[in-house]
Structure 1
């Protein structure tokens, strides 16, 4: 087993014919952090003793040997497996004495020292090698104050240890003749400090596992360090010319950029990886593939030698990081997006309102990405991508194009799926970079068509832009204006009326007034009809959006009729809604009372939280279920029976009329004392007599008084109108009177 006596600087000059040629030193993956500069009394004593020995060696004629340094020399690079701590200290000592002796400009081998995976330490060593502090400074503080010193380095244990050691060297060598000490340190023939280099091949090959077992000083890499090391190895093959650039930026400018988004442990590892994965996902989508697997194999698939577009993807990755360097990122997003619409009289509509970002209180999508929120949200993903490509391409009219994108995203709930992301990203790029809707394929096509119509309207009437944008920003509409006539003659006044009417406090009146203007309901299927809710403003989106302009023709006509009436009102909005409703009830009364008349007349019949009704035989009539939820597998009410109960004014006499089952099943409202029941049927109100004998006579007297015959049906007078049997008397009023009399009779 043969070793070679050498010094640190002499390593880089071949001394013997069979000695390995060393061109650089690189601390390998398995090594721990530099520890000789750690804080603590025990380490401080060891450090002081070691520096005393080094000081004595370079200032007197008593050279020392630092024992064996084991290492593997491969392609001119020495990977020390034992000796990392001593070599790092010698590197720092060479820099210090070179600085004090004014020899830093000399090209010496000692400068070629780095760390394989801890790129932060590698970059620090590189910057330190050419750094010349002024005389009589506290070196530690001066270095930290330099423009190239990154915030993240304050939390890198290796760099912090180096700074402590530099200050300790400065203190110990402050009064030394550093020019003489430098000569002795780099003396080729008789160096003041030497050691025995034992190449690994002389030991029959030494694996990392064996080294750790032998030495017990290898440090497991963190997941982030391991990722960086493996990724740089990938780039060494696919993009060797950019490896050093990536290595320096990842622990340099990019780490500094990410620093404001650091976690509680004052590191940006997770934040970097999340943004890295977002950009890498985008690269996968650009190639028409769906991202899968952990970040490391994904990165190799995208940036590795097996991908012909690896260089293109790497360039995109670097640009996506570089675009945020030295930028106030939060301001970029706060000047682009907002969570709340501006006042409708404001001329400032440049910010795009973001809707439905559940759990988010910020528009900073970069921060959301660093927190891992973007990857789980397709809208966030598309918005962040849009901002990125705008910055990379310096696109025109970005605010306007981004607004259109927002509208498309809001209308495309069912289209936003993982398998469609490649096409969706292509659409976003086409819209943001090229500024065209032509060729948009993945987003909701009805909304695409409507965006074209809106653009045509603004071309003809540009003064309407502010009103159109404010209407798009309404939390119910969210960009969809298919329920509005895009007519410059009526648009502005209807838009203003809409803002006045569609507020939470107006909903109970609005549900009646709009139904008075016409049957605006939308059929969900053959059983269910969707109306607006009197208590949930956002339920109205089911009425006013989510369909093509053709499908919303009926809604558009009814809504326009009501909004026109509001614009012509006298007094406040609530009074106008009441007046519109009451006028319709009065003028319609003589024609017969259909289901719509009852729904307008009695607010209780519009009290369902969901606005959804199930109708027998798929037609609204006198047998209807009023749902609080979207399905019938929970409790619901019969709107007619609920209105009768409310109008009767004897709530304690009646069980709450809640039901379960299908709409065709009979629904009986029950009186508590006697068990008498009432059902609403097409011809009137059907009764079920009490079972107990003591109640029979009272029940019979009430039936006679109300004209209820042997069939127990309280018939409601009706008239034939276009083949439909419509009530000529108010069945709710008749039913309420019947219930009051039954209750008064002790039933």
Structure 2
């Protein structure tokens, strides 16, 4: 039987003797769900375009043909083989305009529409044609609020797609003359929207027929739509490359991506699109702009006729895919990167350590890109670009140049951001292809300068290469050696000493030993001082690498002093730190006084702040100090002196756990639970505060009299004047405070 032209509503009116009688439409079980209402960027664009042409036809009366609809008509029921999506949208459009034009009560054949794919979709269609929303309402919200709308329908993809389409139809047609549009839609003689119906008789509903009609229950994938559109783009800008692209995308490149296919469906469409996105983003950055929009729009702007660099970009795209053909991709990356540094006794330091990734991460950056694991990861994007450049240009000394890039990336957390990617990508090309640091401008410039210094030292002393690389690969340093003197004479032994003592189990001892070597802190501002943390490795990284070589001069001198002492010690790192600290404490206990450093070295609890940040009164570290657990004063923190007194007293539970918040100028008092007496550490000594409860007043008074504490309630700590003019404690105030607290507890206070 040959095809004939009809409209959706006209299907139900027999127009000629040789046309079948259609009484109802039923979407057969083998068909897929309704897809034109799916909420994705690609489908949204298709939906918008389709509604554009429908609206134009209904507003202007310009006839619109929707091509062929193939179907099997049996006993008056049309079961479409191809055209399901268009028919469903026309059904929804008929209902919407009938409602807006107040024509729902009219008997029209368009209402005889059903889904056999699942009972819920069939039931929804039945209820929809009987529903008449009141006035101008939110269509979707009103339908979902009806008593017949089942909660489980929110999980039916066809129903949800229909609701989305109804919303879209409402947005598009709410301002259209609904009566005029309805009349044009159902006009029997000159309908605004029509199609060719091709009935197929006596062939049944076998799956073979669906396959022959290219309707196998699966929607065209985003990739298939994208590929067709992209080939049209190439037809305009690079027609000579269209055939090459078409053959490779279905041949060599499909084979290339096959190992990375999804387990569920065994296709590589998404993998292709992700790598295509990576390369296209690079092209946008090469043009000096930021990628924007969906992939189709971006590809049109990069590879289309409007871009003067289109031919160059297309060539780069094809070469970026070709670069991996016939390569053992997994081996390429496993021989280039590693997640763990090589053993210190290893001579092989060629692999570049990738930091900050979980142990379960892969070093195969091509695979990570294809599986979408690199989304928003600028560092891994730059690393993959570097590897691609090496494969395209066969660059010399790639491991060395890649190591420099790793060091620059790790030092540039503030510089690596979206708006700087064009300049960063240019820097990567300069470094990897040309091997030139002079043109690198977007990465951290202090690190660029340090890379030059390291290169100069290795030129003079190549035997130090292994030791320098092992030091760069330490997880705290991550390529930055600004805290080390690049002195050929001492570099090796200091590097070995660093590895010996800078391990997690030594961090608490490290804070003491470095303080014994000197005030190694870095001033964050006029009030905040950064030290290493006894428990948090990230603070050591901030301390040792978070500034230029010039700003780290003081820290570097003190670190070198400790490393030299450790290098001369015969034992392991822990014993070396203990020995160094003990010698210093013994030498200073009878010195000109006990300054804040002596207390911090003596009492581990005074070094227990997680952040390693301390804030001193008036910006001076002395006897009134805040030990921050986080990085701000509006969080909870401790007073290190009070905490040490509490722990050393032997009765720590006798006081309310002393946590504080607010500015350092606010008094910090440790309160005894029984009496409410408070102890405050002040530069002059230990300030007591009388109990508020009168029942303890007399006992407290007797206590103060017995210990010669005057009316000012200040337990003074004896002082000496140091050579620099500062008044320092002549006795250990922590020990005095611990004795005071024990005595108060013993007296029942």
TM, length-normalised to structure 2: 0.71
> In 2, Cα distance between the equivalents of 1:640 and 1:392?
62
- Cα separation, partners in 2 of 1:83 and 1:649, compared to 1, 3 Å: closer
Report the Cα offset of residue 566 of structure 1: 0.4
> In 2, Cα distance between the equivalents of 1:337 and 1:447?
21
Report the Cα offset of residue 675 of structure 1: 0.5
Map of 1:391 onto structure 2 = 391
Map of 1:710 onto structure 2 = 711
Secondary structure of the structure 1 residue equivalent to 2:195: helix
Map of 1:230 onto structure 2 = 229
State which of 722, 725, 730 in structure 2 corresponds to 1:723. 725
> In 2, Cα distance between the equivalents of 1:254 and 1:542?
44
Map of 1:656 onto structure 2 = 657
Matches within 5 A, 1:357-436: 357=357, 361-436=361-436
Question: How many aligned positions are there?
Answer: 553
Secondary structure of the structure 1 residue equivalent to 2:665: coil
Report the Cα offset of residue 83 of structure 1: 9.7
Report the Cα offset of residue 613 of structure 1: 1.2
More deviation, 615-624/207-216: 207-216
- Cα separation, partners in 2 of 1:727 and 1:298, compared to 1, 3 Å: same
Report the Cα offset of residue 361 of structure 1: 1.4
Q: Does structure 2 conserve the Cα–Cα contact (< 8 Å) formed by 1:706 and 1:738?
A: no
Map of 1:624 onto structure 2 = 625
> In 1, Cα distance between the equivalents of 2:480 and 2:429?
22
> In 2, Cα distance between the equivalents of 1:571 and 1:236?
73
Matches within 5 A, 1:233-272: 233-263=232-262, 264-272=264-272
Report the Cα offset of residue 572 of structure 1: 2.7
Q: Does structure 1 conserve the Cα–Cα contact (< 8 Å) formed by 2:482 and 2:545?
A: yes
More deviation, 731-740/608-617: 608-617
Map of 2:285 onto structure 1 = 285
Map of 1:54 onto structure 2 = none
More deviation, 219-228/512-521: 219-228
Report the Cα offset of residue 539 of structure 1: 1.8
- Residues 242-279 of structure 1, C-alpha deviations (whole Å, 9 max, x = no match): 11111111111111111111113211111110100110
Report the Cα offset of residue 82 of structure 1: 8.4
> In 2, Cα distance between the equivalents of 1:707 and 1:579?
40
> In 2, Cα distance between the equivalents of 1:311 and 1:706?
91
Secondary structure of the structure 1 residue equivalent to 2:644: helix
Structure 2 spans left out of the alignment, 5+ residues: 4-29, 31-66, 72-190, 201-209
Matches within 5 A, 1:546-561: 546-561=546-561
Map of 1:145 onto structure 2 = none
Map of 2:302 onto structure 1 = 302
> In 1, Cα distance between the equivalents of 2:288 and 2:225?
29
Map of 2:61 onto structure 1 = none
1:597 aligned to 2:598? yes
- Cα separation, partners in 2 of 1:552 and 1:318, compared to 1, 3 Å: same
Matches within 5 A, 1:54-453: 210=195, 221-263=220-262, 264-357=264-357, 361-453=361-453
Map of 2:748 onto structure 1 = 746
- Residues 311-345 of structure 1, C-alpha deviations (whole Å, 9 max, x = no match): 11011000100111111111111110000001111
Report the Cα offset of residue 359 of structure 1: 8.1
> In 2, Cα distance between the equivalents of 1:644 and 1:291?
59
> In 1, Cα distance between the equivalents of 2:198 and 2:662?
71
Q: Does structure 1 conserve the Cα–Cα contact (< 8 Å) formed by 2:500 and 2:572?
A: no
Secondary structure of the structure 2 residue equivalent to 1:529: strand
Map of 1:523 onto structure 2 = 523
Matches within 5 A, 1:537-686: 537-589=537-589, 590-686=591-687
- Cα separation, partners in 2 of 1:313 and 1:684, compared to 1, 3 Å: same
Report the Cα offset of residue 705 of structure 1: 3.7
> In 1, Cα distance between the equivalents of 2:532 and 2:657?
24
Secondary structure of the structure 1 residue equivalent to 2:635: coil
- Cα separation, partners in 2 of 1:209 and 1:299, compared to 1, 3 Å: farther
> In 1, Cα distance between the equivalents of 2:422 and 2:572?
51
Report the Cα offset of residue 372 of structure 1: 1.7
Q: Does structure 1 conserve the Cα–Cα contact (< 8 Å) formed by 2:253 and 2:325?
A: yes
- Cα separation, partners in 2 of 1:583 and 1:742, compared to 1, 3 Å: same
Map of 1:687 onto structure 2 = 688
Report the Cα offset of residue 720 of structure 1: 2.2
Secondary structure of the structure 2 residue equivalent to 1:633: coil
Secondary structure of the structure 1 residue equivalent to 2:679: strand
More deviation, 656-665/335-344: 656-665
Secondary structure of the structure 1 residue equivalent to 2:686: strand
- Cα separation, partners in 2 of 1:208 and 1:691, compared to 1, 3 Å: same
> In 1, Cα distance between the equivalents of 2:555 and 2:192?
76
Report the Cα offset of residue 697 of structure 1: 3.1
- Residues 177-205 of structure 1, C-alpha deviations (whole Å, 9 max, x = no match): xxxxxxxxxxxxxxxxxxxxxxxxxxxxx
> In 2, Cα distance between the equivalents of 1:359 and 1:633?
35
> In 2, Cα distance between the equivalents of 1:375 and 1:326?
26
> In 2, Cα distance between the equivalents of 1:520 and 1:293?
49
More deviation, 472-481/651-660: 651-660
Secondary structure of the structure 1 residue equivalent to 2:529: strand
Q: Does structure 2 conserve the Cα–Cα contact (< 8 Å) formed by 1:501 and 1:573?
A: yes
- Residues 591-650 of structure 1, C-alpha deviations (whole Å, 9 max, x = no match): 211111111110000001111112221111111111111122221110000000011010
- Cα separation, partners in 2 of 1:336 and 1:207, compared to 1, 3 Å: farther
TM, length-normalised to structure 1: 0.71
> In 1, Cα distance between the equivalents of 2:242 and 2:490?
62
> In 2, Cα distance between the equivalents of 1:461 and 1:394?
27
Q: Does structure 1 conserve the Cα–Cα contact (< 8 Å) formed by 2:592 and 2:721?
A: no
Structure 1 spans left out of the alignment, 5+ residues: 4-34, 36-79, 85-205
Report the Cα offset of residue 360 of structure 1: 5.6
- Cα separation, partners in 2 of 1:511 and 1:325, compared to 1, 3 Å: same
> In 2, Cα distance between the equivalents of 1:611 and 1:296?
50
> In 1, Cα distance between the equivalents of 2:332 and 2:668?
59
Q: Does structure 1 conserve the Cα–Cα contact (< 8 Å) formed by 2:68 and 2:195?
A: no
Map of 2:736 onto structure 1 = 734
Report the Cα offset of residue 500 of structure 1: 0.7
- Cα separation, partners in 2 of 1:283 and 1:209, compared to 1, 3 Å: farther
- Residues 137-182 of structure 1, C-alpha deviations (whole Å, 9 max, x = no match): xxxxxxxxxxxxxxxxxxxxxxxxxxxxxxxxxxxxxxxxxxxxxx
- Cα separation, partners in 2 of 1:81 and 1:575, compared to 1, 3 Å: same
Report the Cα offset of residue 210 of structure 1: 3.0
Q: Which of the pair has more CA radius of gyration? A: 1
Map of 2:78 onto structure 1 = none
> In 2, Cα distance between the equivalents of 1:518 and 1:83?
86
Secondary structure of the structure 2 residue equivalent to 1:739: helix
Secondary structure of the structure 2 residue equivalent to 1:691: coil
Q: Does structure 2 conserve the Cα–Cα contact (< 8 Å) formed by 1:502 and 1:537?
A: no
Map of 1:165 onto structure 2 = none
> In 1, Cα distance between the equivalents of 2:196 and 2:327?
45
Report the Cα offset of residue 295 of structure 1: 0.2
> In 2, Cα distance between the equivalents of 1:274 and 1:250?
14
- Cα separation, partners in 2 of 1:82 and 1:692, compared to 1, 3 Å: closer
Secondary structure of the structure 2 residue equivalent to 1:558: helix
Q: Does structure 1 conserve the Cα–Cα contact (< 8 Å) formed by 2:339 and 2:357?
A: no
- Cα separation, partners in 2 of 1:209 and 1:448, compared to 1, 3 Å: farther
Matches within 5 A, 1:17-28: none
Report the Cα offset of residue 373 of structure 1: 2.5
Map of 2:459 onto structure 1 = 459
Secondary structure of the structure 2 residue equivalent to 1:658: coil
